[in-house]
A and B are shown apart, each in its own frame.
Chain A
Amino acid sequence: MKIAVMQFPGTNCEYECLVSVKEVGMDGELFRWNRPAAELSAFDGFIVPGGWSYADRIRAGAIASKEPVMDALREEAAKDKPIIGICNGFQILVESGLLPGTTGNGKVEMALAQNVMISDKKIVRRGYYVDWVNIKHDASPRRCSGSFNLNRGDLLQIPIAHGEGNLVTMEKSLIQKLNDEGQVVFRYCDCNGRTTPEFPVNVNGSTENIAGICNPEGNVLGMMPHPERAFFAWQLPSHDPRKHQKGAVGPGRKIFESMKRYIEVTA
Protein backbone atom coordinates (compact mmCIF):
# COMPACT_ATOMS: atom_id res chain seq x y z
CA MET A 1 0.00 0.00 0.00
CA LYS A 2 2.03 2.90 -1.32
CA ILE A 3 1.03 6.55 -1.12
CA ALA A 4 2.47 9.38 -3.22
CA VAL A 5 2.74 12.65 -1.37
CA MET A 6 2.79 15.28 -4.11
CA GLN A 7 5.35 18.04 -3.97
CA PHE A 8 5.05 21.21 -6.03
CA PRO A 9 7.34 24.22 -5.76
CA GLY A 10 6.08 25.91 -2.60
CA THR A 11 4.44 22.89 -1.01
CA ASN A 12 4.81 22.54 2.74
CA CYS A 13 3.94 19.90 5.33
CA GLU A 14 4.72 17.20 2.82
CA TYR A 15 7.13 15.62 5.30
CA GLU A 16 4.48 15.68 8.03
CA CYS A 17 2.07 13.99 5.62
CA LEU A 18 4.67 11.36 4.79
CA VAL A 19 5.29 10.65 8.47
CA SER A 20 1.54 10.38 9.04
CA VAL A 21 1.16 7.95 6.14
CA LYS A 22 3.92 5.73 7.53
CA GLU A 23 2.69 5.94 11.12
CA VAL A 24 -0.64 4.34 10.17
CA GLY A 25 1.14 1.50 8.41
CA MET A 26 1.24 2.57 4.78
CA ASP A 27 4.32 3.04 2.67
CA GLY A 28 4.90 6.33 0.94
CA GLU A 29 7.25 8.67 -0.81
CA LEU A 30 7.42 12.23 -1.99
CA PHE A 31 6.50 12.66 -5.65
CA ARG A 32 7.95 15.79 -7.19
CA TRP A 33 5.83 17.56 -9.78
CA ASN A 34 8.48 17.17 -12.50
CA ARG A 35 8.84 13.42 -12.27
CA PRO A 36 7.39 11.46 -15.20
CA ALA A 37 3.67 11.65 -14.53
CA ALA A 38 3.09 8.07 -15.69
CA GLU A 39 4.94 6.83 -12.59
CA LEU A 40 1.93 7.85 -10.51
CA SER A 41 0.07 4.74 -11.63
CA ALA A 42 2.34 2.65 -9.37
CA PHE A 43 0.79 4.21 -6.27
CA ASP A 44 -2.37 3.21 -4.42
CA GLY A 45 -3.29 6.65 -3.13
CA PHE A 46 -2.26 10.28 -3.20
CA ILE A 47 -1.97 13.23 -0.89
CA VAL A 48 -1.73 16.78 -2.22
CA PRO A 49 -0.40 18.70 0.79
CA GLY A 50 -0.78 22.33 1.74
CA GLY A 51 1.51 25.29 1.27
CA TRP A 52 1.87 27.92 -1.41
CA SER A 53 2.39 26.10 -4.68
CA TYR A 54 3.97 28.54 -7.12
CA ALA A 55 3.66 31.22 -4.44
CA ASP A 56 -0.11 31.35 -5.02
CA ARG A 57 0.54 33.32 -8.21
CA ILE A 58 -2.66 34.41 -9.99
CA ARG A 59 -4.65 32.61 -7.28
CA ALA A 60 -4.02 29.70 -4.95
CA GLY A 61 -3.66 26.40 -6.82
CA ALA A 62 -4.12 27.86 -10.31
CA ILE A 63 -0.64 27.23 -11.70
CA ALA A 64 -0.15 23.79 -10.14
CA SER A 65 -3.47 22.68 -11.60
CA LYS A 66 -1.99 23.07 -15.09
CA GLU A 67 0.92 20.72 -14.48
CA PRO A 68 0.92 17.44 -16.46
CA VAL A 69 1.07 15.54 -13.20
CA MET A 70 -2.49 16.71 -12.51
CA ASP A 71 -3.71 15.05 -15.72
CA ALA A 72 -2.17 11.83 -14.45
CA LEU A 73 -3.79 12.35 -11.07
CA ARG A 74 -7.14 12.77 -12.81
CA GLU A 75 -6.61 9.37 -14.47
CA GLU A 76 -5.77 7.79 -11.13
CA ALA A 77 -8.88 9.34 -9.57
CA ALA A 78 -10.95 7.70 -12.29
CA LYS A 79 -9.62 4.35 -11.03
CA ASP A 80 -11.23 5.07 -7.63
CA LYS A 81 -7.87 5.53 -5.95
CA PRO A 82 -8.04 7.83 -2.93
CA ILE A 83 -6.79 11.41 -3.20
CA ILE A 84 -6.72 13.77 -0.23
CA GLY A 85 -6.05 17.45 -0.86
CA ILE A 86 -5.16 19.48 2.22
CA CYS A 87 -5.43 23.27 2.23
CA ASN A 88 -3.47 24.33 -0.87
CA GLY A 89 -3.94 20.75 -2.06
CA PHE A 90 -7.70 21.32 -1.82
CA GLN A 91 -7.29 24.54 -3.81
CA ILE A 92 -5.32 22.68 -6.49
CA LEU A 93 -7.99 19.97 -6.74
CA VAL A 94 -10.69 22.64 -7.12
CA GLU A 95 -8.75 24.54 -9.79
CA SER A 96 -8.12 21.31 -11.69
CA GLY A 97 -11.82 20.43 -11.66
CA LEU A 98 -11.33 17.24 -9.62
CA LEU A 99 -13.51 18.74 -6.90
CA PRO A 100 -16.41 18.89 -6.58
CA GLY A 101 -16.43 17.05 -9.90
CA THR A 102 -20.19 16.89 -10.26
CA THR A 103 -20.12 17.49 -14.03
CA GLY A 104 -17.43 14.89 -14.67
CA ASN A 105 -15.87 17.03 -17.39
CA GLY A 106 -13.25 18.87 -15.38
CA LYS A 107 -15.24 22.10 -15.18
CA VAL A 108 -14.18 24.49 -12.42
CA GLU A 109 -17.43 24.67 -10.48
CA MET A 110 -16.36 26.59 -7.39
CA ALA A 111 -13.61 28.75 -5.97
CA LEU A 112 -11.82 28.97 -2.66
CA ALA A 113 -11.81 32.74 -2.39
CA GLN A 114 -10.20 35.14 0.07
CA ASN A 115 -11.28 34.69 3.68
CA VAL A 116 -14.01 37.05 4.89
CA MET A 117 -14.78 36.81 8.60
CA ILE A 118 -18.29 37.97 9.41
CA SER A 119 -19.82 38.62 12.81
CA ASP A 120 -23.16 40.31 13.50
CA LYS A 121 -23.50 40.93 9.74
CA LYS A 122 -20.30 42.96 9.71
CA ILE A 123 -16.95 42.05 8.21
CA VAL A 124 -14.64 41.94 11.21
CA ARG A 125 -11.54 40.59 9.58
CA ARG A 126 -10.11 39.49 6.25
CA GLY A 127 -7.19 37.52 4.98
CA TYR A 128 -4.80 34.92 6.30
CA TYR A 129 -5.85 33.21 9.49
CA VAL A 130 -4.27 30.57 11.71
CA ASP A 131 -6.09 28.79 14.52
CA TRP A 132 -7.31 25.51 15.87
CA VAL A 133 -10.85 24.96 14.65
CA ASN A 134 -13.60 22.46 15.27
CA ILE A 135 -14.98 20.57 12.31
CA LYS A 136 -17.90 18.21 12.18
CA HIS A 137 -18.04 15.16 9.96
CA ASP A 138 -21.27 15.69 8.07
CA ALA A 139 -21.18 12.75 5.67
CA SER A 140 -22.29 9.22 6.30
CA PRO A 141 -19.68 6.64 7.34
CA ARG A 142 -17.68 5.18 4.44
CA ARG A 143 -18.90 7.93 2.10
CA CYS A 144 -15.45 9.35 1.52
CA SER A 145 -11.92 7.93 1.38
CA GLY A 146 -10.48 10.44 3.85
CA SER A 147 -13.25 10.06 6.42
CA PHE A 148 -14.00 6.40 5.88
CA ASN A 149 -13.75 5.54 9.59
CA LEU A 150 -15.71 8.55 10.84
CA ASN A 151 -19.36 8.57 11.84
CA ARG A 152 -21.74 11.38 11.00
CA GLY A 153 -21.44 14.04 13.67
CA ASP A 154 -17.93 13.14 14.81
CA LEU A 155 -16.02 16.23 15.89
CA LEU A 156 -12.34 16.88 15.20
CA GLN A 157 -10.17 19.73 16.41
CA ILE A 158 -7.62 20.46 13.71
CA PRO A 159 -5.59 23.56 12.83
CA ILE A 160 -6.11 25.78 9.81
CA ALA A 161 -3.66 28.17 8.19
CA HIS A 162 -4.91 29.81 5.02
CA GLY A 163 -5.94 33.04 3.35
CA GLU A 164 -8.19 31.57 0.67
CA GLY A 165 -10.62 29.03 2.05
CA ASN A 166 -13.93 30.75 1.50
CA LEU A 167 -15.94 28.38 -0.68
CA VAL A 168 -17.99 30.31 -3.23
CA THR A 169 -19.73 29.24 -6.39
CA MET A 170 -21.74 30.77 -9.18
CA GLU A 171 -23.38 27.43 -9.94
CA LYS A 172 -26.78 28.05 -8.42
CA SER A 173 -27.67 24.46 -7.62
CA LEU A 174 -24.22 23.25 -6.64
CA ILE A 175 -24.47 23.61 -2.86
CA GLN A 176 -27.85 21.91 -2.80
CA LYS A 177 -26.42 19.15 -4.97
CA LEU A 178 -23.43 18.69 -2.65
CA ASN A 179 -25.79 18.47 0.32
CA ASP A 180 -28.16 16.08 -1.40
CA GLU A 181 -25.38 13.77 -2.56
CA GLY A 182 -23.56 13.76 0.77
CA GLN A 183 -20.50 15.44 -0.70
CA VAL A 184 -20.12 17.91 2.15
CA VAL A 185 -17.72 16.00 4.36
CA PHE A 186 -16.68 18.58 6.97
CA ARG A 187 -18.22 21.80 8.29
CA TYR A 188 -16.73 24.35 10.65
CA CYS A 189 -18.58 24.22 13.96
CA ASP A 190 -18.26 25.11 17.63
CA CYS A 191 -17.06 22.67 20.29
CA ASN A 192 -20.61 21.28 20.55
CA GLY A 193 -21.02 20.72 16.84
CA ARG A 194 -23.22 23.74 16.15
CA THR A 195 -22.61 25.28 12.72
CA THR A 196 -23.40 28.96 13.15
CA PRO A 197 -22.39 31.07 10.15
CA GLU A 198 -20.55 33.66 12.22
CA PHE A 199 -16.86 34.13 12.91
CA PRO A 200 -15.07 32.58 14.75
CA VAL A 201 -17.12 29.40 14.24
CA ASN A 202 -17.14 29.93 10.50
CA VAL A 203 -13.52 30.93 10.29
CA ASN A 204 -13.37 32.09 6.70
CA GLY A 205 -16.91 32.92 5.55
CA SER A 206 -17.23 29.67 3.63
CA THR A 207 -20.69 28.95 2.22
CA GLU A 208 -22.66 26.87 4.73
CA ASN A 209 -19.53 26.52 6.88
CA ILE A 210 -18.08 24.02 4.41
CA ALA A 211 -14.56 22.94 5.34
CA GLY A 212 -14.23 19.86 3.17
CA ILE A 213 -15.95 18.17 0.26
CA CYS A 214 -15.57 15.00 -1.75
CA ASN A 215 -16.28 14.11 -5.36
CA PRO A 216 -19.46 12.18 -6.24
CA GLU A 217 -17.59 8.85 -6.09
CA GLY A 218 -16.14 9.70 -2.68
CA ASN A 219 -12.53 8.82 -3.43
CA VAL A 220 -11.32 12.43 -3.73
CA LEU A 221 -11.44 14.58 -0.59
CA GLY A 222 -10.44 18.21 -0.23
CA MET A 223 -10.27 19.86 3.18
CA MET A 224 -8.89 23.18 4.37
CA PRO A 225 -7.77 22.06 7.89
CA HIS A 226 -4.40 20.31 8.26
CA PRO A 227 -4.81 16.82 9.77
CA GLU A 228 -1.08 16.16 9.56
CA ARG A 229 -0.55 19.00 12.04
CA ALA A 230 -2.81 17.23 14.54
CA PHE A 231 -1.61 13.68 14.00
CA PHE A 232 0.28 13.22 17.26
CA ALA A 233 -1.00 14.21 20.69
CA TRP A 234 2.11 16.31 21.26
CA GLN A 235 1.08 18.55 18.35
CA LEU A 236 -2.13 19.55 20.15
CA PRO A 237 -2.49 22.98 21.78
CA SER A 238 -1.36 23.30 25.37
CA HIS A 239 -4.90 23.58 26.73
CA ASP A 240 -5.85 20.20 25.26
CA PRO A 241 -5.69 17.53 28.02
CA ARG A 242 -4.72 14.87 25.47
CA LYS A 243 -1.43 16.64 24.84
CA HIS A 244 0.33 15.01 27.79
CA GLN A 245 -1.89 11.96 28.10
CA LYS A 246 -0.01 8.69 27.71
CA GLY A 247 -1.14 6.75 24.66
CA ALA A 248 -3.25 9.58 23.29
CA VAL A 249 -3.26 10.30 19.59
CA GLY A 250 -4.16 13.41 17.65
CA PRO A 251 -7.52 13.73 15.88
CA GLY A 252 -5.86 14.16 12.48
CA ARG A 253 -4.72 10.54 12.61
CA LYS A 254 -8.26 9.46 11.70
CA ILE A 255 -7.95 10.97 8.23
CA PHE A 256 -4.90 8.87 7.41
CA GLU A 257 -6.35 5.75 9.05
CA SER A 258 -9.46 6.29 6.94
CA MET A 259 -7.41 6.44 3.78
CA LYS A 260 -5.72 3.17 4.67
CA ARG A 261 -9.02 1.49 5.46
CA TYR A 262 -10.54 2.76 2.21
CA ILE A 263 -7.70 1.19 0.23
CA GLU A 264 -8.05 -2.10 2.13
CA VAL A 265 -11.78 -2.25 1.48
CA THR A 266 -11.74 -1.18 -2.16
CA ALA A 267 -8.62 -3.11 -3.26
Chain B
Amino acid sequence: MSRINLRVWLIIPDAEAATVKNTLIRRMGYGDILADVKKERLFSIDVDSGDPQELAKVFAKELVNENKENYKASFDGIKFEAGYVPVKVALKIEDGEAISIMYRLRNRLGFQNVKVVEKATVWKLYLKGENPEKAAKEIAEGLLINPNKDSYEILGKESLVRVVAAVK
Protein backbone atom coordinates (compact mmCIF):
# COMPACT_ATOMS: atom_id res chain seq x y z
CA MET B 1 0.00 0.00 0.00
CA SER B 2 1.34 3.43 -0.94
CA ARG B 3 0.14 6.80 0.25
CA ILE B 4 -0.01 9.66 -2.22
CA ASN B 5 -0.14 13.10 -0.60
CA LEU B 6 -1.30 16.03 -2.69
CA ARG B 7 -0.66 19.42 -1.15
CA VAL B 8 -2.85 21.94 -2.99
CA TRP B 9 -2.73 25.71 -2.57
CA LEU B 10 -4.24 28.73 -4.24
CA ILE B 11 -2.10 30.78 -6.57
CA ILE B 12 -4.67 33.56 -6.44
CA PRO B 13 -5.15 35.45 -3.14
CA ASP B 14 -6.53 33.19 -0.44
CA ALA B 15 -9.36 35.15 1.17
CA GLU B 16 -9.96 32.53 3.85
CA ALA B 17 -6.34 32.61 5.00
CA ALA B 18 -6.46 36.43 4.99
CA THR B 19 -9.60 36.38 7.13
CA VAL B 20 -7.97 33.98 9.59
CA LYS B 21 -4.89 36.18 9.79
CA ASN B 22 -6.98 39.33 10.35
CA THR B 23 -9.07 37.64 13.02
CA LEU B 24 -6.01 36.35 14.87
CA ILE B 25 -4.31 39.73 14.78
CA ARG B 26 -7.21 42.14 15.17
CA ARG B 27 -9.54 40.12 17.38
CA MET B 28 -7.47 37.57 19.22
CA GLY B 29 -4.27 39.42 20.15
CA TYR B 30 -1.67 37.58 18.10
CA GLY B 31 -0.34 40.70 16.37
CA ASP B 32 3.02 40.55 18.13
CA ILE B 33 3.88 37.00 17.17
CA LEU B 34 1.93 36.18 14.01
CA ALA B 35 3.63 37.21 10.78
CA ASP B 36 1.44 35.43 8.25
CA VAL B 37 -1.07 32.66 7.65
CA LYS B 38 -1.23 30.46 4.59
CA LYS B 39 -3.38 27.48 3.83
CA GLU B 40 -3.15 24.25 1.87
CA ARG B 41 -5.62 21.50 1.20
CA LEU B 42 -4.16 18.07 1.76
CA PHE B 43 -5.47 14.95 0.03
CA SER B 44 -3.98 11.67 1.21
CA ILE B 45 -4.85 8.78 -1.09
CA ASP B 46 -3.95 5.18 -0.33
CA VAL B 47 -3.50 2.89 -3.33
CA ASP B 48 -2.67 -0.80 -3.37
CA SER B 49 -1.17 -0.96 -6.86
CA GLY B 50 0.17 1.21 -9.66
CA ASP B 51 2.96 3.73 -9.96
CA PRO B 52 2.30 6.36 -7.28
CA GLN B 53 4.04 9.10 -9.26
CA GLU B 54 1.91 8.52 -12.33
CA LEU B 55 -1.24 8.16 -10.24
CA ALA B 56 -0.47 11.42 -8.46
CA LYS B 57 -0.47 13.26 -11.80
CA VAL B 58 -3.79 11.71 -12.78
CA PHE B 59 -5.42 12.38 -9.43
CA ALA B 60 -4.18 15.97 -9.50
CA LYS B 61 -6.06 16.51 -12.76
CA GLU B 62 -9.23 15.63 -10.88
CA LEU B 63 -8.55 17.42 -7.61
CA VAL B 64 -6.60 20.51 -8.65
CA ASN B 65 -7.95 23.41 -10.70
CA GLU B 66 -4.79 24.60 -12.42
CA ASN B 67 -6.40 27.92 -13.31
CA LYS B 68 -6.22 28.94 -9.68
CA GLU B 69 -4.28 26.26 -7.82
CA ASN B 70 -0.91 24.57 -7.74
CA TYR B 71 0.13 21.36 -6.06
CA LYS B 72 3.01 19.27 -4.86
CA ALA B 73 2.92 15.50 -4.59
CA SER B 74 4.80 13.46 -2.05
CA PHE B 75 4.68 9.82 -1.13
CA ASP B 76 4.19 8.26 2.28
CA GLY B 77 5.60 11.13 4.42
CA ILE B 78 5.51 14.88 3.84
CA LYS B 79 8.34 17.32 4.31
CA PHE B 80 7.24 20.76 5.33
CA GLU B 81 9.40 23.79 4.72
CA ALA B 82 11.05 25.74 7.53
CA GLY B 83 9.60 29.03 8.76
CA TYR B 84 6.10 28.06 9.82
CA VAL B 85 4.20 25.68 12.05
CA PRO B 86 1.96 23.35 10.02
CA VAL B 87 -1.35 22.63 11.73
CA LYS B 88 -3.40 19.89 10.13
CA VAL B 89 -7.15 20.17 10.70
CA ALA B 90 -9.49 17.35 9.69
CA LEU B 91 -13.02 16.28 10.45
CA LYS B 92 -13.23 13.64 13.11
CA ILE B 93 -16.82 12.93 12.18
CA GLU B 94 -17.46 11.30 8.82
CA ASP B 95 -15.98 13.38 6.01
CA GLY B 96 -18.55 13.35 3.23
CA GLU B 97 -16.34 15.17 0.74
CA ALA B 98 -13.50 12.67 1.18
CA ILE B 99 -15.92 9.79 0.72
CA SER B 100 -17.34 11.42 -2.41
CA ILE B 101 -13.84 11.83 -3.84
CA MET B 102 -13.08 8.19 -3.17
CA TYR B 103 -16.28 7.07 -4.92
CA ARG B 104 -15.51 9.39 -7.83
CA LEU B 105 -12.00 8.01 -8.26
CA ARG B 106 -13.06 4.39 -7.85
CA ASN B 107 -16.47 4.15 -9.44
CA ARG B 108 -16.64 6.91 -12.02
CA LEU B 109 -13.01 7.05 -13.07
CA GLY B 110 -12.22 3.38 -12.60
CA PHE B 111 -9.34 3.55 -10.12
CA GLN B 112 -10.22 0.45 -8.15
CA ASN B 113 -6.74 0.55 -6.62
CA VAL B 114 -7.82 3.55 -4.51
CA LYS B 115 -8.54 2.25 -1.02
CA VAL B 116 -8.76 5.30 1.21
CA VAL B 117 -9.08 9.04 0.65
CA GLU B 118 -8.50 11.49 3.49
CA LYS B 119 -8.89 15.24 3.27
CA ALA B 120 -7.52 17.90 5.59
CA THR B 121 -6.58 21.54 5.70
CA VAL B 122 -3.03 22.46 6.65
CA TRP B 123 -2.78 25.91 8.17
CA LYS B 124 0.74 27.30 7.88
CA LEU B 125 1.26 29.64 10.81
CA TYR B 126 4.27 31.91 10.49
CA LEU B 127 4.97 32.60 14.13
CA LYS B 128 7.67 34.55 15.91
CA GLY B 129 8.66 34.09 19.54
CA GLU B 130 10.17 31.42 21.71
CA ASN B 131 7.49 28.77 21.59
CA PRO B 132 5.68 28.86 18.26
CA GLU B 133 4.26 25.38 18.70
CA LYS B 134 2.55 26.41 21.94
CA ALA B 135 1.07 29.44 20.17
CA ALA B 136 -0.02 27.24 17.28
CA LYS B 137 -1.80 24.94 19.72
CA GLU B 138 -3.63 27.92 21.23
CA ILE B 139 -4.61 29.19 17.80
CA ALA B 140 -5.83 25.77 16.70
CA GLU B 141 -8.00 25.34 19.76
CA GLY B 142 -9.11 28.98 19.82
CA LEU B 143 -10.10 29.40 16.20
CA LEU B 144 -9.15 26.70 13.73
CA ILE B 145 -11.24 23.86 15.11
CA ASN B 146 -14.53 23.14 16.77
CA PRO B 147 -13.57 20.20 19.00
CA ASN B 148 -17.00 18.67 18.55
CA LYS B 149 -16.31 17.90 14.91
CA ASP B 150 -12.68 18.65 14.10
CA SER B 151 -9.33 17.24 15.18
CA TYR B 152 -5.95 18.87 14.74
CA GLU B 153 -2.33 17.89 14.74
CA ILE B 154 0.66 20.15 14.94
CA LEU B 155 2.93 18.49 12.46
CA GLY B 156 6.67 18.34 12.64
CA LYS B 157 8.50 20.32 9.99
CA GLU B 158 10.15 17.25 8.55
CA SER B 159 7.49 14.64 8.42
CA LEU B 160 3.85 13.85 8.99
CA VAL B 161 4.95 11.11 11.33
CA ARG B 162 6.11 13.29 14.20
CA VAL B 163 3.04 14.54 15.99
CA VAL B 164 3.66 17.11 18.67
CA ALA B 165 0.14 17.58 19.90
CA ALA B 166 -3.16 16.13 18.92
CA VAL B 167 -6.76 16.40 19.93
CA LYS B 168 -8.90 13.43 19.01
Enumerate chain A residues within 8 angstroms of B99, measured Cβ to Cβ.
123
Instruction: Assess the A108–B148 pair: CB atoms within 8 A.
Output: yes
Enumerate chain A residues within 8 angstroms of B19, measured Cβ to Cβ.
54-55, 57-58, 63
> Distance (Å) between the CB of A176 and the closest chain B CB?
16
A127 CA to B28 CA, complexed, in Å? 30
A168 CA to B96 CA, complexed, in Å? 15
A169 CA to B99 CA, complexed, in Å? 21
Among B5-13, B59-67, B139-147, the stretch that binds chain A is B139-147
Instruction: Assess the B146–A59 pair: CB atoms within 8 A.
Output: yes
Enumerate chain B residues within 8 angstroms of A189, measured Cβ to Cβ.
none
Does B78 belong to the interface (CB within 8 Å)? no
A86 CA to B49 CA, complexed, in Å? 49
Does B107 belong to the interface (CB within 8 Å)? no
A59 CA to B145 CA, complexed, in Å? 8
Beta-carbon nearest neighbor of A67 in chain B: B27
Bitwise interface map of A from 35 to 76 toward B, beta carbon under 8 Å scored 1, else 0: 000000000000000000011011100110011100000000
> Distance (Å) between the CB of A73 and the closest chain B CB?
15
A109 CA to B27 CA, complexed, in Å? 22
Does B58 belong to the interface (CB within 8 Å)? no
Enumerate chain B residues within 8 angstroms of A63, measured Cβ to Cβ.
19, 23
Interface of A is mostly: loop
Does A180 belong to the interface (CB within 8 Å)? no
Please, how many residues of chain B have a CB less than 8 angstroms from a CB on the other chain?
Answer: 21
In chain A, positions 64-123 with a C-beta closer than 8 Å to chain B are: 66-68, 95, 108-111, 113-114, 116, 123
Enumerate chain B residues within 8 angstroms of A264, measured Cβ to Cβ.
none
Instruction: Assess the B96–A127 pair: CB atoms within 8 A.
Output: yes
Does A126 belong to the interface (CB within 8 Å)? yes
> Distance (Å) between the CB of B84 and the closest chain A CB?
18
Enumerate chain A residues within 8 angstroms of B91, measured Cβ to Cβ.
113
A47 CA to B146 CA, complexed, in Å? 23
Cβ-neighbour of A62 out of B146, B147, B148 (below 8 A): B146
Instruction: Assess the B143–A168 pair: CB atoms within 8 A.
Output: no
> Distance (Å) between the CB of A210 and the closest chain B CB?
14
Quick one: given A126-B96, A127-B96, A168-B93, are A113 and B149 in contact (CB under 8 Å)? yes
Quick one: given A57-B19, A116-B96, are A66 and B28 in contact (CB under 8 Å)? yes
Does B116 belong to the interface (CB within 8 Å)? no
In chain A, positions 133-174 with a C-beta closer than 8 Å to chain B are: 168-171
Cβ-neighbour of B149 out of A68, A123, A168, A171 (below 8 A): A168
Instruction: Assess the A123–B148 pair: CB atoms within 8 A.
Output: no
Instruction: Assess the B148–A68 pair: CB atoms within 8 A.
Output: no
> Distance (Å) between the CB of A70 and the closest chain B CB?
10
Instruction: Assess the B16–A57 pair: CB atoms within 8 A.
Output: yes
Instruction: Assess the A55–B146 pair: CB atoms within 8 A.
Output: no
A-B contacts, 10 listed (Cβ < 8 Å) = A57-B15, A57-B20, A62-B143, A63-B19, A66-B23, A95-B146, A111-B149, A114-B96, A126-B96, A168-B93
- A108-B148, A114-B96, A169-B148 are known contacts; what are 12 more A-B pairs with Cβ within 8 Å? A55-B15, A57-B16, A57-B20, A58-B19, A58-B143, A66-B27, A110-B148, A113-B91, A113-B149, A116-B96, A126-B96, A126-B100
